[in-house]
Amino acid sequence: MKRIIIYLLASALPLFSGAQDKPILYCGQPEAWEKLMRRNPSAHDEIERATRELEEWTQAYEANRSGGEQEIYIIPVVFHVIHNNGPENISNDQILNALEILNRDFRMQNTDISLVVDAFQDITADVGIEFRLATKDPQGNCSSGINRIVSELTFQGDDEMKDLIYWPRNQYMNVWICADAAGAAGYTNLPANVAFSWLAPQDGIVIRSDYVGAIGTSNSTRSRALTHEVGHWLNLLHTWGSGNSPGISSNCNMDDNVSDTPNTIGWTSCNLSASSCNSTVDNVQNYMEYSYCSRMFTEGQATRMRAALTSTVAQRNQLITTSTHNATGVLNPPLCTADFTADKTNMCIGETVQFTDLSYHGINQWTWNFGDGTILTGSDPDVHRNPQHTYMTPGSYTVTLSVSNGSGDLEVTSADYVLVLNTNELVTPLQDGFEGDWPGDTWSVINYDNVVQWEVTPAASFSGDKSARLRNFNNTVIDATDELISSTFDMSGADTVYIGYKWSYANRLTETDDRFRIFISANCGESWTMLRLRRGSTNLPTADPTNSSFVPSSSSQWGEEVLLVNDPAFMTSSFRVKFELQSKGGNNLYLDDINIWTGDETLVGVSEQDVFNGLVVYPNPAQDELFIDFNLRDAGHVRIELIDLGGRLCLAEERQAQPGEMRFRIPGQTAGMYLLRLSSPAGQTTRRVVFR
């Protein structure tokens, strides 16, 4: 009989950095456990007592087991995806694929079971455990069983990350998916290591996102990582014993407390004829190996895991009760949500939209009404669950999805969900001070967080009475992104495009780092190129910080910039501009006087014909001076400003308006293109001038 090992350290699957012959990275859990022991030295004795208790229970379970058909134990599972909006935010399909593989492996339904070597064919085991996605949360509310939380802790994958969300371990097996599982592919704790209640929130499995399932960011080689970790979670050691260093001869002196797994040094390659510790053949294909050709549990391992699941240690036995199954909704999943999303909702005619069904649970019938007269209905998930649709006529379309699971029906309608544009919707020059209809035909407002969005406000403006505002001060969703997107321009005949705008922003007293970005697109928004990034910590603020909701109080609290686009690739009939704010908990942002024009046009000012009659600017190109000739309709002063294309104010003068020619001296100006702006109480105008 094999000796009992008291295993005080958590186990983990190592991470291969590429092919199997490359170095292995081991988990950081032993170091974390050592820190825990230093902080709580009395925990050592508690773990030792819990380990003995579980081993005694396991031995009794093994001794009393009988033949015949075994009961299938069901474990409710919840997945917590901790992400920072990167590739670690894997799809629901990839998570469900991982759950399917986990169930397949534990029920010995994997097709590669036939490839197990002859020495172990007779002891391959159907563990008799099934894992089902929870359909109710701890409060009894309907749930998809998949939670998503944005946090940079995804790159740590440690206990602090687990503290972000945890569902009671006596009802759910918690699985945290992240970008970096503390340096491993995954890790967990043995039941005895977390037996005491104060460590219950740490009880579960952490796994790297690209080791989840066999699709998406993962692959079939990595797909058994979750199977391996669940083995640890159910009290299995590695096949060589309690260490985490496979391949060393001293491992022959350790054991995994399972009678039918031969002693082994442990393998990081798939040597199927290996016999490392004077045994007949090593069980290299075991899920608790590091060989990456695993495809089986033994009967002894199955008994050990079933014993752990019926033990009171770490409350594992409460997971398999009928009351838990009812509370978590794993027996008869309710149809409780109809929902969908699309990869784009703002596009040009002829573009194809990928719709994705987010409804749950047990959907087997779909009816899509795309709003343009097309209806798709059926029960084939490959055809009807996540369809594509192409819109061929401009307009705003309402989309409806009806779903059924055979016992219930639900429907969801999203009004004006898809906006389809023609090319060349707008003409240049465009000058928008947000004084007219909002958003009208010029702008589309895309709001991802349903908290705040771009709006027109009379609270502040640089010119006129209104501006566009994003009330970011009220935004509680970190990393929420809100977009203001223009319709399409035909720039196909232009050589240069200018984008001018004014903005106003104040940070908070405790500095935050909101991100304000300006993008352009040559293909109607299918892809975007960033022109400018302004950050709350550097070049976005135009006013002093405040912990109040910011409202600009004077023109001095506004910034101004003109961006230049001269790449021929963007001179298309589907040119668009996007203003975007990514919130980091900062303050309000205001936009005003957005101007978009080409190098072949003169930028027309506000009420120019009524204010500056007969305006002439010469010579153009100029050198040291300009002559400005106009008739000002109303008496008063005139402010003359010269602005470079970076938005910097180079020169400014205040003059008393008078009929006739005005001379504006500009000595030593750097050669290039500038904007000459004339402003009076009655209005303003802008001209493009060149200095050589």
Q: Is 229 a catalytic residue?
A: yes
Q: Any residues with CB less than 8 A from the CB of 262 and at least 6 apart, and which?
A: 277, 279, 280, 281, 282, 283
- What is the crossing angle of helices 43-64 and 29-39, to 10°? 120
Do 660 and 589 meet the contact criterion of CB atoms below 8 Å apart?
Answer: no
Marked catalytic residue, from 53, 69, 100, 229: 229
Q: Which two tokens stand for residue 162?
A: 């687990």
| Closest to 78 (Cα-Cα) out of 134, 118, 128 | 134
Between CA 6 and CA 61 the distance in angstroms is 18
| Closest to 438 (Cα-Cα) out of 418, 463, 458, 413 | 458
The amino acid at 18: G
Residue with tokens 């004014």: 502
Task: List beta partners, residue 110.
Answer: none
| Closest to 667 (Cα-Cα) out of 622, 632, 637, 636 | 622
Size (the chain), residues: 692
The amino acid at 10: A
DSSP at 318:
G
Between CA 634 and CA 640 the distance in angstroms is 16
Q: Give the gyration radius of the chain's Cα atoms.
A: 33
- Residue 113, burial from CB neighbour count under 10 angstroms (0-12, 13-18, 19+): middle
| Closest to 179 (Cα-Cα) out of 211, 205, 147 | 211
| Closest to 488 (Cα-Cα) out of 572, 568, 563 | 572
Between CA 506 and CA 511 the distance in angstroms is 10
Between CA 358 and CA 386 the distance in angstroms is 9
Print burial letters for 55-68: b (CB count within 10 Å at least 16), e (below 16).
Answer: bebbeebeeeeeee
DSSP at 527:
S
| Closest to 593 (Cα-Cα) out of 474, 504, 489, 485 | 504
Catalytic residue annotation: 229
